[in-house]
Amino acid sequence: MPVPYFTPENIAKFRTLLQTAKHAVVVTHHNPDGDAIGTSLALTQVLKMLGINTTIIVPNPFPEFLHWMDGVQDILIYKHGHSRSKQLMSGADLLFCVDLNALSRMDALGKFIETLPVPRVMIDHHLQPEMKDFAVAFSEPGACSSAETLYHLIKDLDLLPKLNTLIAEAIYTGIMTDTNGFRHNCSRPEVFYTVAELLQYGIDKDKIYNAVYNSYSYNRMRLLGYALEKMIVLPEYRTAYIALTKEEIASYHFKPGDTEGFVNYPLHIKGIVFSVFMSENQENIRISFRSRGKFSANEFARQHFDGGGHLNAAGGISHLTVEETIAKFLQSLQEYKDELAAV
């Protein structure tokens, strides 16, 4: 599939950056998920094979169900120690931003990166990339994940001979998690061509699935039950939403990643085409949006909650209280009633 960013000129420019780089840093978005971590780990291993010393820095802790992956023990958490992270980024020749289309998606880490004169490379699959932030961008909105975008980039760079089981495993994890186990955003045959090629490197797809989806804690399952009890269904808008306060979340001994996927559950209800999950933390409220058909979760997030993402999957943020955020959401929803009814 032709991608406008995968031009010979872009590839040549990227090759030049790689040839002169000795120290690189890979960063990703706030609340890193399977795609962010998988893509970062795979990219890091490829760069090290090219002789580039590489470190991964993430804004905040990532889910425990990803801690089995090779290389996670070396990931630095910006929130846990700014000085070492800043030192590494300031001394880097090249900075890779994966699974994000704008520096703002990294919060405080992104603000620091804005001050650095280091060339930045984007590897992503979200809509509306902010090109001004990057020296080179490989943005593939048609891809199911940033991991798939990375795989296509590796092919275009003629680096497939450098792939091994660990790299293939990390890429597969990114693809599997961002498609929710191949249930969403993977209608293109290219996704499965990629997976078929990855399997040739000896990965154990069943082991990966079990490590990610069959390793939840007892408290996570209890929190899910509580969240579903709190779910509000709005039949007139074909919408359902869940909102949890930080006190409610803390009462179930929350760990990063415990609410991953909660937003998908309301879509199992017959007739529901739009699902929203609001999760309060110490600084703000993180909001996840999921939709069916042609209703744009991305547009809703961008218009009302400073967010964005994909047609049917997006994220946003609110600096209001939980009650005020719910009120704003319900008010905003009114203008989409006809559009939701038509899905």
Residues in Cβ contact with 250 at an 8 Å cutoff, skipping those fewer than 6 apart: none
Q: Is the pLDDT of residue 3 over 60?
A: no
33-81 pLDDT, tens digit per residue, is: 999 999 999 999 999 999 999 999 999 999 999 999 999 999 999 999 8
CA distance 135 to 10: 10
Nearest-CA neighbor of 227 among 206, 249, 250? 249
Q: Is the pLDDT of residue 278 over 70?
A: yes
pTM value is: 0.91
Give residue 334's pLDDT band: very low, low, confident or very high (50, 70, 90): very high
212-260 pLDDT, tens digit per residue, is: 999 999 999 999 999 999 999 999 999 999 999 999 999 999 999 999 9
Nearest-CA neighbor of 209 among 254, 246, 175? 175
Burial code (b: 16+ CB inside 10 Å, e: under 16) for 169-204 equals bbbbbbbbbbbbeeebbbeeeebeebbeebeebebe
Q: Is 309 strand, coil or helix?
A: strand
Going from the N-terminus, what domains does the chain have, and what CATH number goes with each?
8-213 (3.90.1640.10), 218-341 (3.10.310.30)
Amino acid at position 316, single letter? G
Give residue 185's pLDDT band: very low, low, confident or very high (50, 70, 90): confident
Amino acid at position 317, single letter? I
